Amino acid sequence: MKLYEKFASELIELIRNGTLKGSEKLPSIRQASKRYGISQATVIEAYYLLETQGLIVAKDRSGFYVRPTLNHALKSPKQITNTSQTTEVNVSNLIFATLQNEKESDTIPLGTAFPSPAMFPITELAQSMNKAMRHLTQYADELIADMPIGNPELIRQIELRYRLSGTAVSPDEIIITNGAIEALSLSLQAITQAGDLIAIESPSFYVTLQLLERLQLKAIEIPVDPISGMDISVLADSLEKFDIKAVVLMTNFQNPLGVSLSSEKRQHLMQLIQHYQLPTLIDDVYGELYFSKTMTASLKSLDESGLIIHCSSFSKCLAPGFRIGWLAGGKFTESIERLKLMSTLSPSVPAQLAIAYYLQRNHYDRHLQRLRYQLALSQRLMLSAISRYFPSNTAVTEPSGGYFLWVELDESINTLELYQKALEHKISIAPGPIFSASQKFQHCIRLNYGMKWTQEIEEAMLTLGNIIKKII
């Protein structure tokens, strides 16, 4: 990241956290140069970048100001206070019917679950793949040797990233999988049987719901606070009332709300895990997409009994098409390994080698820095668009990472109908009911800001806002 981009990123963070408020004047070019110890040219470049992205405005003979709409008083979604209940999971038909149009190339993909491919280092990954293939021509036996558990160098790189983030994980418990979905599926199969009760978040990522349905598991929906994450007190009550076999949750930038579990709740959750000896499955695919200066320590770092299975992948932040994920299985590692040997056996060995080569070259953190910067910028622009184009009673989350916004609309709106109307204008959204085993959240939508902002996206947000206003 260039110096002016780094400075611009720091200003974005000040705007995001409210330190710089709407309509507030920025330091003059000369003042900023002295205050931050950078050249005036660097300040000019940074201000110009923020101006072209619509975050600040220049006023003749006055200076630069934060765009007023950026700090418009958008409401936060209401806290979900419903108690837990047992639910038979039967959502796949709804999910498939809703998401079948995501493949249309001319649709603005505000409802997709992936960032734009333009955000990924495709050229560098291709170079790594070329090196991987040349390596295999000399060491063809690795095609077989690396299949059961995964490529040793990739496992070493993943272990290193765990340790750098403050989590001590043994390489013996890391299993490479075909993306995070397989990691989650194998883990659930290892710790449950058909008919078991599983505690999940509400709302929850629809893939989790589909896995529960396929494995014939029942859901106990635990409400998620849009500020601090899963309601652990409700989880505690549910553990008293029901024979819950496991809990599945996202502790960082949860999909669809974007919320992270607070430090206090992490401690409380760990107490419950220890007390009930509760197998806990963490889906942490967004953990490295934080906008703050440091990464939040994984819940796995607090696990002393091996009850936490930590799942992640490179699909959401580096290489979606490679389908390389992993899990750190704790005490369940051997059971999961056996299940894997009886099912898919191995992810693509060349893809594993390619990512291992990429990580070895130390380009990953540089890529993540650029990606976080772009995501933070796009989030500000989408929030600004919502404040300008959506009805005034709209409520929206403001995550500190990831790439999703959870938008709560007027309660009269059925977002399944809104989804269809938006598609008529070639705009996709993710309607709230697909994120619930009991198909709640009829008036909510999830929007994806994981793309470089364009005039086309700006116009799509305007169109979507107009559609919503006509429905009310």
Here the CATH number for the domain that contains residue 31 is 1.10.10.10
Q: Are 201 and 305 found together in one domain?
A: yes
In a domain, 82, yes or no: no
The enclosing domain of 274 has a CATH number of 3.40.640.10
Residue 76 within a domain: no
CATH number reported for the structural domain that contains residue 415 in this entry: 3.90.1150.10
- pLDDT for position 91: 72
**63 and 152 together in one domain:** no
Question: Domain for residue 15, yes or no?
Answer: yes
Same domain? For 376 and 357 the reply is no
Residues 99, 194 within the same domain: no
Question: Does residue 114 come out as left (phi exceeding 0), alpha (psi in the -120 to 50 range) or beta?
Answer: beta
Domains in the chain, number: 3
The confidence score (pLDDT) of residue 71 equals 45
Task: Please report which helix (H) or strand (E) contains residue 131, including its range.
Answer: helix 122-138
User: For each of the chain's 472 residues, which pLDDT tens digit applies?
Assistant: 788 888 888 888 788 777 888 788 999 998 999 988 999 889 988 888 888 777 888 887 788 888 765 444 456 676 655 556 667 777 777 777 666 666 666 899 999 998 998 999 989 999 988 988 887 777 666 666 666 678 999 999 999 999 988 899 999 999 999 999 999 999 999 999 999 999 999 999 999 999 999 999 999 999 999 999 999 999 999 999 999 999 999 999 999 999 999 999 999 999 999 999 999 999 999 999 999 878 888 899 999 999 999 999 999 999 888 899 999 999 999 999 999 988 887 888 889 999 999 998 878 999 999 999 999 999 999 999 999 999 999 999 999 999 999 999 999 999 999 999 999 999 999 999 999 988 889 999 999 999 999 999 999 999 999 999 999 8
Instruction: With respect to residue 265, please indicate whether it lies within any of the assigned structural domains.
Output: yes
Same domain, 60 and 107: no
Structure confidence at residue 72 (pLDDT): 45
Tokens representing 21 are 């408020």
Task: Looking at the structure, tell me whether residues 33 and 144 fall in a common domain.
Answer: no
User: 101 and 67 in one domain?
Assistant: no
Give the CA angle between residues 450, 212, 97 to the nearest 5°.
Answer: 55
Q: Which domain holds residue 412?
A: 89-119+366-471
Using the 3D structure, point to which of 343, 363, 383 is the last residue of a domain.
363
Q: Domain check: are 461 and 393 in the same one?
A: yes
Using alpha carbons, select from 216, 192, 153, 191 the residue that is nearest to residue 333: 191
Residue 38 lies in a domain: yes
Last residue in a domain, options 363, 393, 417: 363
> Do residue 144 and residue 271 come from a single domain?
yes
Predicted local confidence at residue 70, as pLDDT: 46
Q: Is residue 454 part of a domain?
A: yes
Considering the domain boundaries, does residue 247 fall inside one?
A: yes
C-alpha closest to that of 13 among 450, 448, 286, 398? 398
Task: Answer yes or no: are the C-beta atoms of 253 and 405 closer than 8 Å.
Answer: no
The verdict on 329 and 387 lying in the same domain is no
- DSSP assignment of 7-18 equals HHHHHHHHHHTT
Same domain? 390 vs 322: no
Inside any domain, residue 79: no
Distances (CA, A) of 358 to 141, 179, 180, 322, 327: 21, 17, 19, 13, 20
Q: What are phi and psi for residue 56, nearest 5 degrees? A: -130, 165
Question: On the CB side of 276, how many CA atoms lie within 13 Å of its CA?
Answer: 23
Three-class DSSP category at 310: strand
Domain limit, last residue, from 301, 332, 363: 363
Same domain, 200 and 341: yes
